[in-house]
Amino acid sequence: MQQLKCDLLVIGAGSGGLSVAAGASQMGADVVLLEGHKMGGDCLNYGCVPSKSLIASAKAAYGQGHTSAFGVADQVPQVDYAAAMDHVAEVVASIEPMDSQERSEGFGVKVIREFGEFISPTQVKAGDHIITARRVVIATGSSPLVPAIPGLSTVPYVTNETLFDQRDKPDHLLIIGGGPIGMEMAQAHVRLGCKVTVIEGARALGKDDPELAKVVLDSLRDEGVEIAEGAMVSAVRGQAGAIEVETKDGSIFKGSHLLMAVGRKANTDRLNLGVAGIETNRAGILVDDQLRTSNKKVYAIGDVAGGMQFTHVAGYQAGVIIKSALFGLTSKAKSNHIPWTTYTDPELAQVGLTELQARDIYGAKLEVVRFDYHHNDRALAERKTKGFIKVMVVKGRPVGTSIVGHQAGELISTWSLALANGLKMSQIAAMVAPYPTISEINKRVAGAYFSPRLFDSQNVKRAVRFVQRWIS
């Protein structure tokens, strides 16, 4: 066994792990990075990058058949599913160098391509290496959760880890799970010419504001996606090309292919956490607000820490870790300013509190301000008028924003900035957005907050009349 000592050991080379390792090494720390599978983790290889690439192919196909409103004849798209998946692979390959072993080594990181497991509270074994580290960061991410559904073990299915290896277009794709992954892939596949049925045991897009989620779900249904809600799966049977999914109410859904998209589970099985005194729960590794585990020399970030499972969360948490582990500074992770987006068409984005959450906390102190896309000139020009924004405001400050519509994922960043810095609605209203842009929606909703205060106020009107009598 080769003995190694380092300042910082990072387990997992996904988004969070790569950011911690590169940042710490460039700041002078001696860093070792372990990765037993693919560099770049889930986001690059199975998640964000491939899914958004396939969505782009689907958007192009959909666009060809919906141009007549612009004075251009509709065309029936000729979809080559294998070529679309090749596009996905090409995009992943183009980004791979940014997450590669060579790039990390260029920053001075020692990369070991092995899985790691704790053999003591301060030591980790990886292949023929035993690493003793001053601090350890666990960034092993998550994997698709596949529940023990009767019959599933004998039926062929894919998850997000295997979907993008497919080259044969499904005739009828059954998707178990109506969360963001399920709904994004449902719309992508129906636009690429597949029949699609989504089977959800509770409410589709159940973590989002129901009012906004309905806009998305109605759009998907209009495009031909069958969405069965409150349909708890009881059994799966069949073979490749002929699969049946039965629900507890006796309904049977038939299709050619099956995608399991019911959620994620933290990757902790290989780590031998008990030896290190690291506590876990059903969601993942337990951490405090500084992202420290029950072993105070060990941190956990990203999906494995059991919180919000987004790439940008892991990246944000990497910065929190570096301040604490390298400089010994108290650095706490916050979540109120973390946005998320579901990349359907229209997009669905959220930051901070939803309306229901805000009402539960603030009651009568809460004001909800709205602005509709159909009042935005750029949205009218591009025929993207479906959707709206609503901002939850308490004492002049936003506490949450929900957006459904074109480029919602871009618009939400302004509100993340506002929540991160405690900005007031007046500061959003003071922003000047170029005309005509979709981004004007953010300014206009801030204006909608002040409009009744200015235009419906008798005090303001009396003040204006008084001033007008005395100025020349």
| pLDDT reported for residue 326 | 82
| pLDDT reported for residue 323 | 87
Q: What is the pLDDT of residues 84-94, one digit of tens each?
A: 999 999 999 99
Q: Which residues, other chains included, contact 308 with Cβ-Cβ below 8 Å and sequence gap of 6+?
A: 335, 338, 340
Quote the pTM value: 0.94
Cα distances (angstroms) measured from residue 393 to each of 207, 339, 398, 418:
21, 17, 4, 12
469 phi/psi in degrees, rounded to 5: -70, -25
- State what percent of residues in the chain have pLDDT above 90: 89
The amino acid that residue 374 corresponds to is H
Cα distances (angstroms) measured from residue 197 to each of 76, 183, 220, 305, 380:
22, 10, 11, 32, 32
Q: What is the pLDDT of residues 362-414, one digit of tens each?
A: 999 999 999 999 999 999 999 999 999 999 999 999 999 999 999 999 999 99
What's the per-residue H, E or C state across 289-343?
Answer: CCCECCCCCEEECHHHHCCCCCHHHHHHHHHHHHHHHHHCCCCCCCCCCCEEEEC
Is residue 348 predicted with pLDDT exceeding 90? Answer: yes
| pLDDT reported for residue 109 | 98
- Per-residue pLDDT averaged across 71-86, rounded? 97
Q: Which of 281, 77, 83, 289 is nearest to 166 (CA)?
A: 83
Confidence of residue 417 (pLDDT cuts 50, 70, 90): very high
Q: Report the C-alpha gap between 284 and 202 in whole angstroms.
A: 23
Q: What is the DSSP letter of 169?
A: P
How far from each other are the two terminal CA atoms of the chain, in whole angstroms?
A: 90
Confidence of residue 460 (pLDDT cuts 50, 70, 90): low
- Per-residue pLDDT averaged across 34-40, rounded? 96
- Per-residue pLDDT averaged across 334-356, rounded? 96
Mean pLDDT of the chain: 95
- Per-residue pLDDT averaged across 241-256, rounded? 97
Is residue 452 predicted with pLDDT exceeding 90? Answer: no
Is residue 345 predicted with pLDDT exceeding 70? Answer: yes
User: Domains in the chain, ordered, with CATH?
Assistant: 2-39+100-144+265-327 (3.50.50.60), 152-262 (3.50.50.60), 339-455 (3.30.390.30)
| pLDDT reported for residue 468 | 65
Ordered DSSP codes for 91-110 = HHHHHGGGGSHHHHHHTTPE
Cα distances (angstroms) measured from residue 10 to each of 31, 139, 255, 328:
7, 7, 43, 17
* Angle formed at CA 336 by CA 379 and CA 319, multiple of 5 degrees: 105
Q: Report the C-alpha gap between 392 and 406 in whole angstroms.
A: 20
Cα distances (angstroms) measured from residue 99 to each of 19, 269, 450:
10, 24, 46
Ordered DSSP codes for 101-158 = HHHHHHTTPEEE-S--EESSSSEEEETTEEEEEEEEEE---EEE-----TTGGGS--B
Q: What is the pLDDT of residues 50-61, one digit of tens each?
A: 999 999 999 999
Is residue 464 predicted with pLDDT exceeding 80? Answer: no
| pLDDT reported for residue 457 | 60
Is residue 80 predicted with pLDDT exceeding 70? Answer: yes
| pLDDT reported for residue 286 | 97
- Run of H or E including 236: strand 233-239
The amino acid that residue 127 corresponds to is G
Q: Report the C-alpha gap between 367 and 396 in whole angstroms.
A: 9
Is residue 456 predicted with pLDDT exceeding 70? Answer: no
- Per-residue pLDDT averaged across 456-460, rounded? 64
Is residue 465 predicted with pLDDT exceeding 90? Answer: no
- Per-residue pLDDT averaged across 241-255, rounded? 97
- Per-residue pLDDT averaged across 146-169, rounded? 96
